[in-house]
Amino acid sequence: MHRPLPHRISRLGRLLALGSVLLVLAPALAAQVPSGQGLPSQLPNPQQAQDLLRNQPALVGQLRQRIGQSGLTPDQVRSRLRAAGYPEGMLDDYLSGADTTKPALFGPRTLDAVRALGVVSAEEADSLAQGDSLLAVSDSLRELLDSLRLVRADSIRTDSLADSLKAVTRNGLKVFGLETFRRTTTRYQATMSGPVDENYRLGPGDQLVLILTGDVEQAYSLAVTREGFVVIPQVGQVYAANLTLNQLQDQLYTRLGKVYSGVRRSPAARTKFQISIARLRNIQVYVAGDVVRPGAYQISAAGTPLTALYAAGGPTSNGSFRLLTVRRGDKLVDSLDLYQYLIHGVNPTSIRLDNGDVIFVPVHSAMVQVAGKVIRPAIYEMKPGETLRDMIGFAGGLDPTASEARVQINRVLPPESRGAGGRARVVVAVGADQFVGGAVPAVRWPRATRLRR
């Protein structure tokens, strides 16, 4: 029996408690929420839940103060928002001269828009969000809010609450990797300021800093124009688009040397210079297929496919973790297997995303439930050609107490393999004699399978 909540518990407290109970009782709720039916009436609707997160008086005051201290005029703020891909009137409630008697709604992209102005850094944005008690929302509540929004949206392209709970707790096993992308955080977003790696290529919107020292002491802030140039006083236009910093530096030795005689490639040069990135540009990419929130996303130009996947909430319970693709126009740029990242901690791709890139998540391939005496029991996705050895490896290997004499594979046969009146399921026993030297045998199987140790 549940203890009664305190009499003066806040509305947000009630919602937090409800979110915790909902997740703790996930198996029961999965059974109680049939497909196609709504949520129980005692749950708050999405608008009520969002109102708790949006009305942030203390945070609104801090943001108004930061924008006011930046020295930007309202027209400059709107211009920067428009250039960054945000609605130009998005921050009008926070500008000087705004009616402070009316509540300013704090939306899910407000901090991102303020950060795009250069008023606060990513770390400061996190600090502002965490400093307000109403924004210190647990992962459980955020998952609850996501599920409420998705159920009300009635979209076949997103997980319903019942499907999400079922996917995470199906037969007591979790779909491996599903929860990783549900716990989003701005700390994963690619940095908006330098430094960057040596392969980063400059583009329109990047902000550079050129510093001259020695005979000439000068510093310049340079923006890469839409045409791909930077304009240096007394030097003129220097082409920078699609160049790395090292390639741009080679050009600058020639161009600066014509104006400043002390600039040359020598340790004894009387004038030296340094070029670095002060701020990275934004790009727009698209995430499509079986993801929680398909759509267009503004991310840093230093972002990778993982950045976009985290923004989109990751694959749904029907989405693949192993057959993702990145397309640029009509060309396939790369294929991703997220198990490299989830199991080995290796970034599955080294490519940089560009404007207009599409990350596509197809429907998953064959699924295998690995249960029993293994380190990490879960539901794993299997690519063609993989074997029992691969599945046990994904599960972290055998538990020290596992018995090699009791390994069973429960196979669900494809229709073409059943024959007339044939069985849909078969059980295959893997004998101890197949574990030569203790190594797991490379047993192959088709379609959906359940493995027990």
Query: Who contacts 409 (Cβ-Cβ below 8 Å, separation ≥6)?
Result: 388, 427, 428, 429, 430, 443, 445, 449, 450, 451
C-alpha–C-alpha distance, residues 83 and 123, integer Å: 22
C-alpha–C-alpha distance, residues 211 and 54, integer Å: 43
By DSSP bridging, strand 378-382 and strand 407-412 are unpaired
C-alpha–C-alpha distance, residues 90 and 352, integer Å: 29
Tracing tokens 């001259």 back to the chain, one arrives at: 212
Tracing tokens 């197809």 back to the chain, one arrives at: 362
C-alpha–C-alpha distance, residues 66 and 94, integer Å: 9
pLDDT for the residue numbered 42: 46
The whole-model pTM stands at 0.61
Tracing tokens 């249960």 back to the chain, one arrives at: 371
C-alpha–C-alpha distance, residues 107 and 109, integer Å: 5
C-alpha–C-alpha distance, residues 151 and 256, integer Å: 60
111-141, pLDDT tens digit by residue?
778 877 777 766 666 565 554 434 434 444 5
pLDDT per position in the chain (453 positions), as tens? 444 434 333 443 443 333 333 333 333 333 334 444 444 444 445 455 445 444 555 667 777 888 888 778 888 888 888 777 778 888 888 887 777 677 666 666 777 788 777 777 666 665 655 544 344 344 445 555 555 544 444 343 344 444 455 555 446 788 899 888 876 554 445 566 667 778 889 999 999 999 999 999 999 999 999 999 999 999 999 999 999 999 999 999 999 999 998 898 888 899 999 999 988 998 999 999 999 999 999 888 888 899 899 888 899 989 999 999 999 999 999 999 999 999 999 888 878 899 999 999 999 998 888 888 888 999 999 998 888 888 888 988 888 877 765 677 877 777 777 766 666 777 777 766 677 666 776 777 655 555 555
C-alpha–C-alpha distance, residues 322 and 176, integer Å: 11
Backbone angles phi, psi at 378, to 5 degrees: -170, 180
Q: ∠ at Cα 219 (217, 221), nearest 5°?
A: 170
Q: What is the DSSP letter of 292?
A: S
Answer whether the bond into residue 377 is a cis peptide, omega within 30°. Answer: no
- The enclosing H or E element of 341 equals helix 339-344
By DSSP bridging, strand 425-430 and strand 295-300 are unpaired
C-alpha–C-alpha distance, residues 186 and 389, integer Å: 37
pLDDT for the residue numbered 17: 37
C-alpha–C-alpha distance, residues 1 and 9, integer Å: 19
pLDDT for the residue numbered 28: 38
What residues are paired with 31 via a beta bridge?
A: none
Q: Burial code of 212-222, b = ≥16 C-beta within 10 A, e = fewer?
A: beeebeeebeb
Pair of tokens at residue 444: 């192959």
Q: Are 289 and 220 in contact (CB under 8 A)?
A: no
C-alpha–C-alpha distance, residues 337 and 348, integer Å: 6
223-281, pLDDT tens digit by residue?
999 999 999 999 999 999 999 999 999 999 999 999 998 898 888 899 999 999 988 99
C-alpha–C-alpha distance, residues 392 and 231, integer Å: 58
Pair of tokens at residue 253: 């030795």
C-alpha–C-alpha distance, residues 299 and 284, integer Å: 6
Q: Are 388 and 451 in contact (CB under 8 A)?
A: yes
